[in-house]
């Protein structure tokens, strides 16, 4: 463990951030390089008392009052600039602890800058609205308007597959709205959040408004659910854990981005030169570990063979392996166990009658990009979230039946359709029960400015700075009655 500095230059803090101070001590857990399997650091797990202390300090900070909106915006803008200063450190950390390729890690930093800037801008223009009392007989003389106020302490529980930008989609809007944030990052990727904490403090974020508590969900996560002074939980992760958080939250507010089985549709009139690279990248980037990764691909039968062949050809150009190699496009999964699970699911699919056209080989935690056809309806790669670099193709003849099949999962996060037929595009937008329906784009395209969230077992509430800020504030009606 002591050779961490040899692996990561400028190792981030390995303690817990409470009231502006990194606190060491207590039990520790290892952080491993997801490609080599070697430990790169040991991180201190927060104690039960540290969890309570962080929440108490956050509540006191909010009660004392946040800096004015323009000052909060300045902090976030400075943090965005500091991401460039520390860019290589962020890339190195994410390549090691998340297994990101150099391209994916660089893209994560680029998007994080945008998220910070958007949050800074939205925080200074957060306003209410006028109430049209003139519509009510006898109340026409009244003047009414709404104002928005911070909810208090926001608890952010974040995943391993976007350890910087998803974290900022919670932390930055929460602070922009005037809330204090208690962040519990994934225990698989704690160092990126620690480095982000360094940056936010350097940018001038007041000490009481940010705490970072490291540890497992079964301990630190559960303790956070017991803290009644937390006003809002924002969570990205599994539907199973989301249900536990919602049950514990009771009448307190939450935002949940949960499980997914994303579908993308390719109609016979689609522009395949546009569609194929988008689909392949969406299904296979970050080793398929994106909640909107293309997993189910419906292709109109007349072009199914061509689409399959072109996807196989494209997948063959995506080198899988060492994420530090600039030529690598598909890095390791988050663990050996995750790669073994994906390998087993692919093996089961083939045993059930599917054809594996390419990929599926495992080397350690790396799975080569896989394209399948003929996956049985009950195959796990078809009916459960794979979170691996694989795309399952199914031909369709009946457009209505295909839409019904896409809807036939417990989840509803994002879907995409490629077509030049306006009627089909509009029908898909009406019928597909997903939080986002993309026309002439894959299910996995995302701009950080847009509202992002799901329906059904994929959760509720919206990310996207403008929308998250509104969720993390309370609306108050003010009435003047002359």
Find the domain containing 120 and state its range.
Answer: 16-258+458-479
**Distance between CA 199 and CA 167 in Å, rounded?**
13
Contacting residues for 93 by C-beta, under 8 A, at least 6 apart: 8, 12, 191, 192, 195
Q: Catalytic residue, from 198, 257, 300, 385: name it.
A: 257
Residue 403 domain-assigned?
Answer: yes
Q: Phi first, then psi: what are they for 104, rounded to 5°?
A: -70, -40
- Same domain (yes/no): 267, 254: no
Which tens digits make up the pLDDT trace of 344-372? 999 999 999 999 999 999 999 999 999 99
Q: Catalytic residue, from 291, 385, 441, 471: name it.
A: 291
Strand blocks (E) in 402-449: 411-412, 414-418, 436-439
- Same domain (yes/no): 471, 379: no
Q: Which residues of 2-34 are buried (b: 16+ CB within 10 A; e: fewer)?
A: eebeeebeebbbbbbbbbeebbeeeebeebbbb
Task: Based on the residue annotation, tell me whether 257 is a catalytic residue of this protein.
Answer: yes
Q: Which residues of 40-59 are buried (b: 16+ CB within 10 A; e: fewer)?
A: bbebbbbbeebbebbbbbbb
Residue 7 domain-assigned?
Answer: no
Nearest to 260 by CA among 118, 455, 427, 438: 455
- Same domain (yes/no): 245, 290: no
Residue 1 has pLDDT above 50, yes or no: no
Q: What is the pLDDT of residue 216?
A: 97
CATH number of the domain encompassing residue 211: 3.40.605.10
Q: What's the pTM?
A: 0.96
Which tens digits make up the pLDDT trace of 5-31? 335 667 999 999 999 999 987 899 999
User: Is 407:433 a contact under the CB 8 Å cutoff?
Assistant: yes
- Same domain (yes/no): 241, 334: no
Residue 2 domain-assigned?
Answer: no
- Same domain (yes/no): 107, 199: yes
Q: State percent of the chain over pLDDT 70.
A: 98
Mean pLDDT of 192-201: 98
Task: Based on the residue annotation, tell me whether 63 is a catalytic residue of this protein.
Answer: no
Residue 157 domain-assigned?
Answer: yes
- Same domain (yes/no): 171, 318: no
Q: Which residue has the tokens 């698989």?
A: 188
Nearest to 14 by CA among 191, 221, 181: 191
Helix (H) or strand (E) holding 207: none
- Same domain (yes/no): 167, 269: no
Residue 176 domain-assigned?
Answer: yes
- Same domain (yes/no): 242, 352: no
Band the pLDDT of 2: cuts 50, 70, 90.
very low
Residue 200 domain-assigned?
Answer: yes
- Same domain (yes/no): 238, 331: no
Band the pLDDT of 382: cuts 50, 70, 90.
very high
- Same domain (yes/no): 247, 268: no
Mean pLDDT of 388-401: 98
Looking only at the bridges linking them, the beta strands covering 21-23 and 16-18 are antiparallel
- Same domain (yes/no): 98, 172: yes
Residue 173 domain-assigned?
Answer: yes
Residue 3 has pLDDT above 80, yes or no: no
324 class by beta-carbon count within 10 Å (0-12 exposed, 13-18 middle, 19+ buried): middle
Residue 6 domain-assigned?
Answer: no
Paired tokens of 85: 């200063």
Mean pLDDT of 88-106: 98
The number of domains in the chain is 2
Residue 444 has pLDDT above 60, yes or no: yes
- Same domain (yes/no): 399, 473: no
């Amino acid at each position: 463990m002591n050779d961490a500095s040899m692996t990561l230059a400028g190792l981030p803090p390995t303690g817990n951030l409470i009231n502006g101070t990194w606190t060491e001590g207590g039990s520790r857990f290892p952080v491993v390089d997801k490609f080599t399997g070697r430990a790169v650091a040991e991180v201190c797990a927060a104690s039960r008392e540290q969890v309570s202390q962080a929440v108490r300090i956050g509540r006191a900070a909010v009660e004392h009052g946040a800096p004015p909106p323009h000052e909060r915006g300045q902090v976030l803008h400075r943090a965005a600039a500091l991401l460039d200063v520390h860019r290589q450190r962020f890339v190195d950390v994410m390549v090691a602890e998340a297994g990101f390729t150099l391209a994916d890690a660089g893209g994560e930093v680029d998007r994080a800058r945008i998220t910070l800037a958007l949050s800074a801008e939205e925080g200074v223009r957060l306003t209410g609205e006028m109430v049209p009392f003139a519509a009510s007989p006898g109340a026409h003389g009244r003047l009414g308007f709404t104002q928005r106020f911070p909810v208090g302490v926001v608890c952010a529980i974040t995943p391993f597959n976007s350890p910087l930008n998803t974290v900022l989609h919670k932390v930055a809007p929460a602070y922009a709205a005037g809330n204090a944030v208690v962040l519990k990052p994934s225990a698989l990727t704690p160092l990126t959040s620690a480095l982000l904490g360094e940056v936010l403090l350097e940018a001038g974020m007041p000490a009481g408004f940010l705490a970072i508590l490291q540890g497992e969900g079964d301990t630190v996560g559960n303790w956070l659910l017991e803290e009644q002074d937390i006003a809002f939980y924002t969570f990205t992760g599994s539907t199973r854990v989301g249900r536990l958080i919602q049950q514990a939250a009771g009448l307190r507010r939450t935002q949940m981005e949960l499980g997914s089985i994303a579908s993308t549709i390719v109609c016979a009139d689609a522009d395949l030169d546009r569609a194929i690279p988008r689909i392949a990248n969406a299904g296979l980037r970050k080793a398929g570990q994106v909640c909107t990764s293309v997993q189910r691909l419906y292709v109109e039968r007349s072009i199914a063979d061509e689409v399959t062949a072109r996807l196989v050809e494209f997948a063959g150009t995506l080198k899988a392996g060492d994420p530090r190699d600039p030529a690598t496009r598909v890095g390791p999964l988050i663990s050996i166990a995750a790669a073994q699970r994906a390998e087993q699911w692919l093996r089961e699919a083939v045993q059930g009658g599917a054809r594996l056209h390419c990929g599926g080989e495992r080397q350690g935690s790396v799975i080569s990009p896989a394209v399948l056809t003929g996956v049985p309806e009950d195959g796990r790669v078809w009916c459960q979230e794979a979170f691996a670099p694989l795309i399952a193709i199914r031909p369709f003849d009946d457009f209505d039946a295909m839409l019904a099949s896409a809807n036939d999962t417990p989840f509803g996060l994002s879907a995409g359709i490629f077509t030049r037929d306006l009627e089909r595009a509009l029908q898909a937008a009406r019928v597909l029960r997903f939080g986002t329906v993309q026309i002439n784009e894959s299910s996995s395209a995302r701009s950080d400015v847009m509202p992002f969230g799901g329906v059904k077992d994929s959760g509720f509430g919206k990310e996207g700075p403008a929308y998250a800020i509104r969720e993390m504030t309370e609306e108050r009606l003010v009435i003047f009655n002359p």
